[in-house]
Amino acid sequence: MLLKFGQNSWDAKACHEDLEISGDNSLAVYRKRTNLAQCRSVFANHPISLSIRFSDIFYFEISIKQMKRHLFLGFADKQQKKLDENIFEQKGTYAIESEGAICINGSFIGKSDRFSYRVGDTVAFGISMATRQVFFTKNGHFLVPFNFSNESSSADDQLLLFPFVSLFDFDDQIEASFEATLKSVSGFEILQNKGNIRDQRHKLP
């Protein structure tokens, strides 16, 4: 089933057991206290399609309620089955980490302080259907987009992208909104980031 804009939520069947989905319309995610503080992920119920007939921009937002170290948000071309692994290291993923690391197709391509976010911030990850560019926003500011790179065997107009978030530490908590779509980025304040991305091709500590 393809995404009906504004009717998405987190998928209890694609959620690690150490995460708890709650709130109105199943939009809040809480990292429960367990023996291990490791990556735990959840996917949205419905994907978006990169159909060429769509010209809109789609993005989903998360509000950071609690966070000790870092988390990831982004898109993946499928719901991963191993929800205790680093989803952002898999092919077909596009993600931003809270310390500013940028992950495209499973590889860290750079890092910028401008992309970092913390408790109290509202951040979003999105894609322009027309330009095939993924982008990031922080507190309403639009940051420079990245070209979409499809290494999947599917054609772009058949490719599905699932929103996901990965939490690491006990008591980490976010709340999502899947309702936002717009025709252009004119609703954001444009923040250029040229020359400010540091290459960092290694795993996070």
Rounded mean pLDDT, 168-194: 64
Location of structure tokens 């939009």? 27
Q: What's residue 157's pLDDT?
A: 55
Residue 200 lies in a domain: no
Write b or e for each residue in 46-76: b if 16 or more Cβ atoms lie within 10 A of its Cβ, otherwise e.
bbbbbeeebeebbbbbbbbeebeebbbbbbb
CATH number reported for the structural domain that contains residue 66 in this entry: 2.60.120.920
Residue 197 lies in a domain: no
Q: What's residue 11's pLDDT?
A: 96
Q: And the tokens for 7?
A: 């009717």
Q: What's residue 146's pLDDT?
A: 67
Residue 187 lies in a domain: yes
Q: What's residue 42's pLDDT?
A: 96
Q: Quick check: 45 pLDDT over 60?
A: yes
Give 161's strand partners: 48
Residue 91 lies in a domain: yes
With bands split at pLDDT 50, 70 and 90, how would you rate the model's confidence at 204?
very low
* Averaged pLDDT score across all residues of the chain: 77
Q: What's residue 91's pLDDT?
A: 84
Q: How many domains does the chain have?
A: 1
Rounded mean pLDDT, 51-66: 77
Single-letter residue type at 199: D
Q: Quick check: 69 pLDDT over 50?
A: yes
